[in-house]
Structure formats: C-alpha cells, structure tokens
Structure 1
Amino acid sequence: MITSAYIHIPFCQQICHYCDFTKFFYNEDLANQYLEALDKEIETAVGKKQTYMRTIFVGGGTPTALNYHQLEKLLQTIASAFDVNNCEEYTFEANPGEFDEQKLTLLKRYGVNRISFGVQVFDDQMLKKIGRLHRVQDVYDNLRLFEKHQFDNVSIDLIYGLPDQTLEHFQHTLDEAIQLDLPHYSTYCLQIEPKTVFYQRYQKGKLHKPVEELEADMYDMLVHKMEGNGNVQYEISNFARPGFESKHNLTYWNNEYYYGFGAGSHGYVPGYRTVNIRPLPRYIEQAKETGMPILHKEEVTLQAQIEEQMFLGLRKKEGVSKSQFFNRFGRPIETLYEQPLTYLQEKGWMEEEGDYVRVTSNGRLFANSVFQEFLLESIEE
C-alpha cells in the first residue's frame, strides 16, 4: 500500500552553487504550464478522490518561489487528490525570505502542518558565497511568522564542510541553530556534484573543501552539541525532539513505497522504482499527453530489495530489525550477512543489540564503507 507522496516543484529564484536537484529559474508562464501538467500526472495516478496519504512532502527547487495564485493552484491540486485533513505529516520546503503573511495563511488553510526550512548556515558572507539569496535576518523574521501562525513543527537544514569553512565557523552556526530550540534539524556534509557551479570551480582548482579529518571533527561536534541539547540523532544526518522525527523521510529509510510526482522525481511503487522525465518542456508535454511522464521504470529484484533494506535501514540510529528482515525476506540477516557482520563488529563499526543490528557512533563516520559491505554477489530468487 502506498501512503506517502513526494511532489517536486523545480523553480527557484536563484540556483545555489551546490545544488544538483532538478531545478530551473522561475518563469511565470512556464510555472503555469508545469502546474497543469503536474495536476494531470497526479490525477492519472490516484484520481480526484482524496486518497489517504500518511505523509505528503512538497519539495524542490523551492515551492514557495511560486506566486500566490500558483501556490493556491498547487494546494488545490493536492487537496483534490489527497485527504489532506487526515494526513499525519504534510510538509512544504521553503527558503527564508520567500514567505509573507498571505502565503503562510494559504498553507495553513490547506492543511500544511510542517515546514522544512533551507537555512544552511548562519553567516551572511557564507550564504552569499554558496549562492543563497536570503540573509540571516530573513531566517529570524520568518520564524516569527511561523510562530504567529502556529506552525510548531519546523525543521531547518544545515550544511557543513563548505569551502574554506573552519571548525569555529561551523560551531557558530550550530550554536545559533540550537538556541532556536526547534523540533527538528537536518544536516548535510557538502558533496560536490556534477553539473553544479561548485563542481566547475573544483575541477579548475578554484574551490577547496575542508579535509576529511576536519569534516569528521565537524560531524563529531554536530552530534555532541545536538544530543547535548535534547535533539536525538535518529538517523545519520537528522536530529529531533522525541515525536518530531520526519515521518516522510522514515518512509524512505524503512524502504517503504511512495509516489514521486513532478519533473525528475523518483518513486517506489510495488515491484518498481520510477524516474520521471527531467527537462521541463518534455515533462510538460508527456504529462499533459499521457499523465505518465516516466523516463525510466526499473524492476526491483529480490537482491536489490535486500540490499536497499540494509543500506537505508542502517542509516537509522536504531538500525535494522532482524525479525522484520526475516518476515519480509524469509532469510535471517545473520546467515545472509555472516561475514560482513563479523568483520564490521570486529572493527567497531557495527553492533547487535536484541533484535537490531546497527552502525556504531564510530561507524557512522565511515558510513559509505559500511554500506558497501552489504552488496551481494548473487542471491537465489
């Protein structure tokens, strides 16, 4: 059963130097066409019957880059397809400085109950350096608006490992973020991705990331400061007060099914993973014509399901349940992965406790190396 939906809005007022998501500069006419195409795609998948969704996540790009009337059209599309009144977690991504009273009132009226806020760093010069339009004061101004309109489930994004960033600089951002006493924080170490401004500069030797040891120190500081202030690390990069963990993101980490709507979006439906067409003109044309703008549809084999269960589940602090794994795949983790489990436990990177196998705090610093150990050569279907 599919009870989660991701909806992608690819428009931005400015393209950040590090972003490799599907994104385009905002254009009013193109945005109108896109919303019509998106409406057709969603209607084709679920109809206009207010289907139950446990979680809805509207991301980007920047959904709040849309003007007021476009934002209302998007919210109407979602409300006509999904039962937003009974949605447990309905999230909108937003950038500081792109909110006003009207837009926030609109979101509240249509049932949005969570904001994912793209803060990134508490330093105006660094914000400019990474291609962000907002400034620190915009963050505080918008947070006051959220409080006024009783949005109490707010998450902010933070990035570390930025060009020329020092440990002291990141500590300042952490201290500023923590004193806000918000219920959720998502954190990311900068990855230099192809087709970004940072990638071009890196290739030319004009961009210098902190060395791995410094990034590890930043991560260690992050964990200790967050947990020292009551924010529990429930996933490698995410911290929350108990009860405010991201239910939508847990859908991904629990390897559960979800719809993916919009240009370049990914979905996971029973038996298949899907990727939508990315270029806007092609997406719009195909979505309007057929309602199914799918670029690629790949069958998920049993081997892939097992590997993904481990890769995704081990991102969570609690780890992977041995009993749930057996119930789903009919094979014990201990038998299927005897060698890597022994090897990783001897290195101190993994541990077993009761029904769970999990990555240790030390192992999280080497998460990618840990995950690679759970690739299978072959498996009998």
Structure 2
Amino acid sequence: MQALDIRPCRLDAKTQVLRAEVRAFLAEELKQYSPAERAKGLVGLVPEFSRKLGERGWLGMTWPKRYGGHERSALERYVVLEELLAAGAPVGAHWVAERQSGPLLIKFSAEVLAPQIVPGITRGETLLAIGMSEPDVGSDLAAVRTRAEKTDGGWIVNGSKVWTSGAHLAHYMITLLRTGPKEEGDRRAGLSQLLIDLKSPGVTVRPVYNMLGEHDFNEVFLENVFVPDDFVIGQLGNGWQQVTAELALERSGPERYLSSTQLYLAMLDEADPQDTRHTVSLGRLAARYAALRQMSLGVAGMLARGENPAIPATVVKDQGALLEQAIPEVAHDLFGDQREPGSDLDQVMRFLTQSAPSFSLRGGTREILRGIIAGGLGLR
C-alpha cells in the first residue's frame, strides 16, 4: 500500500508582499461588487477583468517567458489565486485557460501550438474551454464517442460535448476524442486531444441554463469540423495520459474548497457571538477550512518541487467539495428562518444552495475521485 504524503508548505516573505499588492488591487476593483455578485466569482465571466490581471502579470505566472509567462514560483501563483477566490473576483473567463490549458499546450505542443496560443492567455485575451464530458456517458471519459477521421492536411470531427464552461465566450476548445479504435480490454486506447477553433464552420454552441436560469455551461456540437494537423496536441493515441495530467491541475487548487466562502463570510457577519450554536458550527467550518488550506498549499508545494500531485490533488478536490456543500446546509440550520428576505445573507444563501450540488460534479464525481484515490493507494 502506498502512503498519501502531503507535506506542510510555508509561504516566504516575497509571497506576503505579493498578497498585500493583490488585496489592494481587489479592494479597488471590487468595491462596487455586492456579496451576491462576489458569490458568483468562479463563474463570473468578465473578460475585461481577466485582461486587467494579464496587464499586472498575474496570469501565466509560472510559465516560461518565451510564451509570455513570468517565471515566478508556484507558491506566488497560489497566493494570487487564493486572494482572487476569497474576494469573490470574477475569474471565470480566463480560469480554464490559465489553470490547465496553457500548461497542457506548453508541455505537449511546445514548438507549435504553445507559441501561437499561450501568449494570448497570459494577456487575458485568449479564452479556452474544455471538451471532455459528453451527453449520456457521465464521468466515464473513456466512453467518449466524438470522433476525428483523417483527411488531407487534417481531421474531420463529429460529435458533441457538454458542460463546457464558458464555451460561448471561448476562442478554442481542447477536445478529447477518438482518432483510433479501442483495443480489446483497453477502452482508453485510440484517444487523442485536438485544439478546435470554435469559430470553425460546423461548430454550434448552445447554452445550458442552471437552476438559477443563468448560463455558464454549454453544449458544443461538432459537425464535419475541419481541424488542421498542427492542431493535434501531443501524440495521437496519447489522449488518456494527457487528459489525466490535465485533470491533476484541475483538482488541486484553492477553488476546490473556497467556492462557498462568501456565504461563510455572510454568516460570520450575521452570527450572534452569544449563541453557542453559531460559535460551534462556524468554528468547526473554520477548522475544516484551515485543514484544507494546508492540504491545498501542500499540493502547491509539490508542484513547486516538480513532483506529481495527482493523488493528493484528488483528495483535496474530494474533501473540498464536502466542505463547500456543507456550508449552505449549515446556513439553513443556523439562519434559515431568521434571515431577512433580500438581505446579503439571503441572496448569497439562495445562490449557493442552488449551485452547491454541482460542486461534486466538476472535476470528476465523488465516485470517480474515490476510485482514483483507492487505485493510487494500492487499494484496488
């Protein structure tokens, strides 16, 4: 059996100076944002805000300068992410591209696609979506049916993707699909990743509205879409290995436990310090926040040391979703029949109560994550 080793990580003085700089910027930029608006930060699609972060050098912070990056440390990037999320900044427009698409292109298409695409990501100008999930296959990525057939100079793609956050604004979609046949006993064989220009003929993006009637998810339909050979990412048939490396980046960050933070802050504002139920319940949440922060920061430390954080990142994602989904339940228990209709607490609670069910879906369902953890620990 393997051990799960997440070592403590300490932030140095340089990161504290950076933290103060980011806080000052956010205090000015977000001064007109209400708590309800801040609660939507991770799905807040505001391209102008992304461009402002790019101007300050806070996108692509760890990437090589040849791609427009800044070659700063993973811990400096962590501090920026933490402050953005804690403040409820509208980071949804650039989030996918900066978190995982840029690193994927740098690693697997360093000479072809990365020089074309990544500098725009660092400026907050080029937005990407992820084409992984498909209708009717749930979280089983190996069951994808979208297919690319070889043609002169490229590939013809047919199929569909769903839950593609921000695809209606994105310029490109990194797409997992089949370029070859499955092999007996190995459904993961024949999978590849292609970069699809979402303005290409044959691409249709349709909105998926959530329970709030809001739109950040989409379905993307691909009908005889031509993708040039240069837009193949990495090696044909290596899609499964590439996408699992990408998912490690998706699961490790502070966004995996901070999505309900605005509701926690609203509860602190409304709490009665003389009420033992308030003190105990909110104190327990604070303890869980502290533990998850240390785990998430430990994963950032692994990245800084060049280690593979796949299993620890999956644990952070799994446990972070439990915390995020527990906070609306605590809010209803403590303030459900006391809050004033239309108050900040009421608005934030309504939004997160309806949003929280999705927190255990994004980045992989709980069942998938726990299977990965069990496999990584040698338990299956």
TM-score by length of 2: 0.25
TM-score by length of 1: 0.25
Higher helix share: 2
Higher strand share: 1
